[in-house]
């Protein structure tokens, strides 16, 4: 094994190690983003249910509350439902926010490409 060939092999091994490291880092980030999206999705369901229950309770028992409170509950119900749906769509469900893991390796390591 000549010195040039040993250097090319060492470079190829280092390139492969770095590519593995890059892929592992991307995989970890993808896993954390998935967990965050899942948490946002579940918490939005709980928040939406709570807000809807409180507002509907106020709206259906209108005589027991001042008109300003009923009007505020109606606006809050509309605004929160609309805002929550838009946020969930943009953050959780948007196809553009989903990342796809891809190989980071080249088809042939540059260090192994011999003289042509």
Q: Is residue 46 part of a domain?
A: yes
Whether 108 and 12 have beta carbons less than 8 Å apart is answered as no
Residue count (the chain): 116
Domain boundaries, position 62: 3-98
Q: pLDDT tens digit string along 92-109?
A: 667 666 666 666 666 655
* Per-residue confidence band for 116, with pLDDT thresholds at 50, 70 and 90: very low
Decide: residue 49, CB within 10 A, 0-12 exposed, 13-18 middle, 19+ buried.
exposed
Q: Please write the tens of the pLDDT for every residue from 41-94.
A: 888 888 888 888 888 888 888 899 898 988 988 898 888 888 888 877 777 667
Q: Per the domain annotation, does 30 fall within a domain?
A: yes
How many domains are there within the chain? 1
Whole-angstrom distance, CA of residue 16 vs CA of residue 10: 10
pLDDT at 17 over 60: yes
- Classify residue 75: in a domain, yes or no: yes
Cα distance between residue 88 and residue 47, in whole Å: 12
Q: What is the pTM of this model?
A: 0.59
Provide the pLDDT for residue 39: 87
């Amino acid at each position: 094994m000549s010195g040039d060939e040993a250097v090319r092999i060492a470079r190829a091994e280092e390139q492969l190690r770095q590519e593995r490291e890059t892929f592992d880092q991307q995989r970890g980030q993808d896993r954390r983003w998935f967990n965050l999206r899942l948490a946002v999705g579940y918490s939005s369901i709980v928040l939406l249910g709570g807000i809807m229950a409180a507002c509907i309770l106020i709206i259906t028992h209108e005589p027991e509350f001042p008109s300003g409170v009923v009007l505020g509950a109606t606006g809050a119900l509309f605004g929160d439902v609309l805002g929550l749906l838009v946020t969930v769509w943009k953050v959780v469900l948007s196809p553009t926010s989903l990342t796809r893991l891809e190989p980071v390796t080249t088809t042939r390591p540059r260090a192994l490409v011999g003289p042509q």
